[in-house]
Amino acid sequence: MSYNEVLLQSYGSNDNFLFTRLAAKSVEIWSKLRAIGGDCWLASHLTAMPSALFIGAAWERAEFYDGLCLLTSTGVEKKCCVKDVFVFDSTLQLPKDIGLIGFASMVLHEWPEGVWKMLKIKNLRCSVQRAVHTRQLAYEGYGNPPEAIQLKSINIGDKPAADQVFVKWIAAPINPADLNQIQGVYPVKPTLPAVGGNEGFGKVISVGSNVKSVKEGDHVIPNKSGLGTWRELGLHSETDVFLIDNELPLEYAAVFQVNPPTAYRMLKDFIHLKKGDTVVQNGANSAVGKQVIQICRILGIKSVNVVRNRDNLEDLVKELKDLGADDVITQEELYGRKKKFPGVKLALNCVGGRSSLFLASLLDHGGCMVTYGGMSKQPVDCPTGPLIFKDISLRGFWMSRWYDIQKTPEKRQEMYKELAEWMKSGEMKKQAFVNNRLEDHARAIEDAQNKHEKKQLFLLD
């Protein structure tokens, strides 16, 4: 049987409590170390928390897996990167309340070299774990987003576990759902403390030995809500990310997960639409609304688009018609029934209240109104006559739910492939952004809450 020898190399002192480094590249299971070396004391320099001294027997489990250490004691779990470790004989008497400085002095000056153990560990797979510095926008509790979010500097390991991927995040937007999540009013609530951001894209730097779906150099997006994309680097489970087209420009890739798929699925999943059919929507100048207009144009479907009246209405009408809108009307024109739109098969509602009432009234026999938002904060209204005599239906749609119920990736891959082709060909236009760095987070989040002309985007690369 082969053995990997664990040797204590040179040890020295500095402000970071760095004494020694194991000659072996990694130790997988501390319990094996304790079993061979007796009731050893373990001390380590931790990159994710202050330096600490651990008594081996006190921990129920302490495992290395490809460089990450999971420490469990009395039911509490902490993940950290153990950079430097030394072992010494537990029979030595350690004064009470010695503290780290006193402990360092004793190790370096008072104890003879002979007390250091030479331990052998059976059949261990070894790897070096290096700590890397990174920044992220995190929140420890729910609250007003500009105040709750803080820029944090942390150290993480650079080697993924067997089922992990190491990702360099490149760009991530600020979406309304991100703000709602920080406020604590969004259905998806990550475990606190949490990193903000549900959308964005990154580049895979390295992968664990068991990872099959992505490889080094691939571009990925979150597989589901709550991952936390407002960060520079991240170690994630393979199942937490999803492969996208590497050739997508940043302006498309950063917002590839939410708005384009929302528009795509609503046009594909509720009514069988064919060329020449008509779709009506309110909130047409929203991010999703603009995607709906463009996909309708590509598919040969007519779009009737309802917007609020405003001072720059002519400019907005021109913008939407340049994207492919067939008709653009104000809410007042919708309520006044000044225009007739026969044969409307599908209505898309993100406003609610009175707007949804008149939107549904435009539906033809067997038509469907899909609600995916509630900007007016009013209940969805439906006219009784069309509901009875035209057999119209009301449905709800949430993109996160659609992702959750997909058991296999094929349908998602098919959607992403078609969207990416439209984007790369220029059939779908790039969205305008205000670019921000992480250190500008307070202003960027405030603008995302109060200014809606352009989406705020964090550039992380």
User: For residue 302, which of 321, 319, 285 has the smallest C-alpha distance?
Assistant: 321
E-state strands within 34-101:
41-46, 52-55, 61-65, 68-73, 76-88
Phi, psi torsion values for 101, nearest 5 degrees: -65, -45
Catalytic residue among 186, 264, 372, 403: 186
Q: Specify whether the CB–CB gap between 92 and 114 falls below 8 A.
A: no
CA–CA gap between residue 278 and residue 347 (Å, rounded): 9
CA–CA gap between residue 320 and residue 304 (Å, rounded): 11
Q: Read off the DSSP letter of residue 108.
A: I
Query: Quick one: tokens of 41?
Result: 């004391």
> Active site includes 186?
yes
Residue 422 exposed, middle or buried by CB count within 10 Å (0-12, 13-18, 19+): middle
**For residue 415, what is the enclosing H or E element?**
helix 410-425
C-alpha dist (Å) from residue 205 to 39, 48, 133: 39, 21, 15
The residue assigned the tokens 């009395």 is 74
E-state strands within 293-352:
302-307, 327-330, 344-349
CA 314 remoteness from chain centre: 37
Catalytic positions, written as ranges:
186
